[in-house]
Structure 1
Amino acid sequence: MTDGTEGPTAESGERTARYVALLRGINVGGHRRVPMADLREVLAGLGHRAPVTHLQSGNAVFGAPRGSDPAALARELAAALESRFGFPVDTLVLAAAELRAVAARCPYDTAALDPAKLLVFFLDGAPDRAALARLDADRYAPGTFKAGEREVFAYFPDGMGRSRLADALTGALRGHLATARNWRTVTKLRELAGEEPE
């Protein structure tokens, strides 16, 4: 197939799977600029197949050999981005199957909520549940949050910018590489990553 979702690579006959890269803290207020066309070039230069990007906040889907270690892919991409742009870029990579699993774990009724106000904080490891438990949920109402396996789901009915919950979660997640995407973006990335047989 030509989209890299499944099938052997032309060079080696390896089977490929789709992976999702999430970059943190780029293209904010004109700083730390990483054009999406350049991100696609970097991914292609690393040998990844059919890279596509979404929005300007650093979301990419690409093909790599099935069974690749997402953490190794993230380190490789982060090093290539720093070499290209001259500044470090925090990078998370998930297998498409893991993105689907995260979406399936969402404890909120996604059909009933504004997808722009439901966020997923993707992490590089399991969240500190004790730190999250110390947050007084009533203090941040009507905002709410729920921990997942390597993610935290949060709903900001009045918008994230006006909520003290966002800062509280940032503090509770300190020590993790964490980057948030709203549900609309999560849904789009799932669509771009496609469906693969397990």
Structure 2
Amino acid sequence: MNERIKYISVLRGINVSSKRKILMADLRKMYAELGFANCISYIQSGNVIFESKNLSNTELGRKIEDAISEKFDFDVPVIVRTYEEWGQSVQSNPYTNSHKKESLCLTFLNETPKTELTEAISELNFEPDNFQIIDKDVFIYCSGPYHKTKLSNQFFESKLKVKATTRNWNTVLKLLELSAK
């Protein structure tokens, strides 16, 4: 039996300041051409819900990255989670009960970072902003706008030696809601 699994993919750095432009209709079409079913995009930042045969998140991410490189002629990191993993991430956020959701972000990592690297950056102080790393997720509380925090994708990629992309908490919740349908 070839049962399909629901996945959510998040692309890093597309449609930002007129750079690395991809129309969502073109992205959905590309996903369909890859053999994915029921492709839904949400906003212009590269969030796609889709169904596929059971492959690893890493395999799916590479497949999508390769297709984007071939079709659009630039490289884009793609991080994939199953619907179940996405829901677990939402449940794991340590800040949801103590902070407004407008102040929360989730940085998705393409792999679990090495323990010694997470321990090293966990000792750093960025108050009033805070973060917690749980497996392949970095939960962020920003006291101000996200674009002003030092807790950026580049920071986590540099310190943890992984690929990363961030979504605000409203987007994280909306993607969970849309993928539940």
Normalised by the length of structure 2, the TM-score is: 0.89
1:118 is matched with 104
Q: Is the 8 Å Cα contact of residues 36 and 58 (structure 1) preserved in structure 2?
A: yes
1:179-198 alignment runs, 5 A limit = 179-194=165-180
- Report deviation, 1:188: 0.8
- The answer on whether the counterparts of 2:8 and 2:48 sit within 8 Å (CA) in structure 1 is yes
Aligned residue among 44, 56, 80 for 2:67: 80
Contact 2:11/2:165 (<8 A) preserved: yes
Could you list the runs of 5+ residues in structure 2 that have no partner in the other structure?
none
Cα 1:168–1:92 shift into 2, 3 Å: closer
Q: For the residues of structure 1 that align with 2:52 and 2:125, how far apart are their CA atoms?
A: 44
- After superposition, residues 88-107 of structure 1 pair within 5 angstroms as 88-107=75-94
Q: Displacement of 1:137 after TM fit?
A: 6.2
Q: Which residue pairs with 1:162 in the alignment?
A: 148
Separation in 1 of the partners of 2:3 and 2:124?
49
Q: Select which of 11, 16, 25 maps to 1:37.
A: 25
The answer to whether the Cα contact below 8 Å between 1:102 and 1:151 also exists between their aligned partners in 2 is yes
Please, which of 135, 143, 154 is the counterpart of residue 149 of structure 1?
Answer: 135
Residue 117 (structure 2) aligns with = 131
Matched, 1:47 2:35: yes
Encode CA deviations 1:151-180: one digit per residue, 9 max, x unaligned.
11110022222223436545423x201111
Larger Rg computed on CA atoms: 1
User: Which range moved further: 129-138 or 70-79?
Assistant: 129-138
Identity %: 30
Distance in structure 2 (CA, Å) of the matches to 1:128 and 1:117: 27
